[in-house]
Structure 1
Amino acid sequence: MNIHLGYRPGCIGRVTELHASFYSRTVGFGAPFEAKVAAELAQFCLDYTPGRDGLWLAEQEDGQLHGSIAIDGSHYQASGAHLRWFITSDHSRGNGLGSSLLNAAMDFCKASGYERIYLWTFDELHAARHLYEKHGFRLSRSQRGAQWGKEVNEQMFTLGMR
């Protein structure tokens, strides 16, 4: 599996597909979630600024995309760098790809001088939480919410880097 930095043709659709199929199957998210992922990821790619933002895509040798992670630094001064669109395909889950993607994003944050990183998730994703905590993220906020189209226990994890 190769990890590439930056936009690749088709990545918006494939990253959206990975999110939509996984979250539909595991928690019942539907069209509102898929549309939110597609719209926000598309806007991120249009506004992408090298050095401020990062998008890593995990691809097999045949070009098939199996994972992604992004760092959105556009609002860093106000709220920190935002870790987003972190997912791996069913085929690649559990083989260390998630750790590799997260390491690439964390290395970028260190090199960019980002001292605060945050992400939003929800409490049903135990494997992801374990990975976040392994990398130093801590739960900083929990609330009921429906930002993804279905009410869940939303969680904000933060990491302060020095």
Structure 2
Amino acid sequence: MTPISFADIKIRTTLNPGDLGYIAYIHGRLYAKECGYGLSFEGYVLDGLKDFAKEYDQEKDRIWICEHNDKIVGCLIAHRRNEALQFRYFIFLPEYRGLGLGKHLVQQFITFMKEKEIKHAFLWTTEEQLTAVSLYTKYGFQLTEEKKSNSFDKPLREFRYDLLFN
């Protein structure tokens, strides 16, 4: 089998019918396997994606869909929340991790913020996402809130990270 490289991945910023359903599927399936999250987590993801679909505005929101051989293998969503931009649904299938896609999408997110003159972004994650947290902090996100949660069918801690530009 030929190794996959960054150059093999197509990144699009258009939202097509079926994309959000597939993103929910990836989240539910992958996080159940890797973290033991249950149906409550999948419901949480579906609620957020439903809101994104209803509120989606090409001028204010952005989606980055990573595809390989016409299959979605990762994504990131930037969802406008009042004056802030929420960083959401950042995920890659395991075989596509380590290619530099995560760094690239975080850079694209920050570029989008600057283009739209957005001064504040935030995200929520869990204590189990150490690799992602390392990437977020590398790009200037700072921990601003921590809370206990049972929302994903198991006890854990959720963390909020914020990014501010002057």
> Quick check: TM above 0.5?
yes
CA distance in 1: counterparts of 2:153 and 2:78, whole angstroms: 23
What one-letter code is carried by the residue in structure 2 that aligns with 1:19? H
1:103 aligns with 2:110: no
Cα offset for 1:105?
1.4
CA distance in 2: counterparts of 1:27 and 1:66, whole angstroms: 19
2:40, 2:151 within 8 Å by CA — same for their partners in 1? no
Aligned twin of 1:52: 60
Q: Which of 75, 87, 90 is 2:82 aligned to?
A: 75
CA distance in 2: counterparts of 1:17 and 1:91, whole angstroms: 17
CA RMSD of aligned residues (A): 1.4
CA distance in 2: counterparts of 1:74 and 1:113, whole angstroms: 14
Aligned twin of 2:6: none
Aligned twin of 2:133: 129
TM-score of the two chains, using structure 1 as the length reference = 0.90
Identity %: 27
CA distance in 2: counterparts of 1:88 and 1:27, whole angstroms: 14
Aligned twin of 1:141: 145
1:16 aligns with 2:15: no
Gaps of 5+ in 1: none
CA distance in 2: counterparts of 1:86 and 1:75, whole angstroms: 21
1:117, 1:158 within 8 Å by CA — same for their partners in 2? yes
Q: Which of 85, 90, 94 is 2:94 aligned to?
A: 90
CA distance in 2: counterparts of 1:149 and 1:120, whole angstroms: 17
Aligned length: 158
TM-score of the two chains, using structure 2 as the length reference = 0.88
CA distance in 1: counterparts of 2:50 and 2:147, whole angstroms: 27
CA distance in 2: counterparts of 1:52 and 1:110, whole angstroms: 12
1:7, 1:45 within 8 Å by CA — same for their partners in 2? no
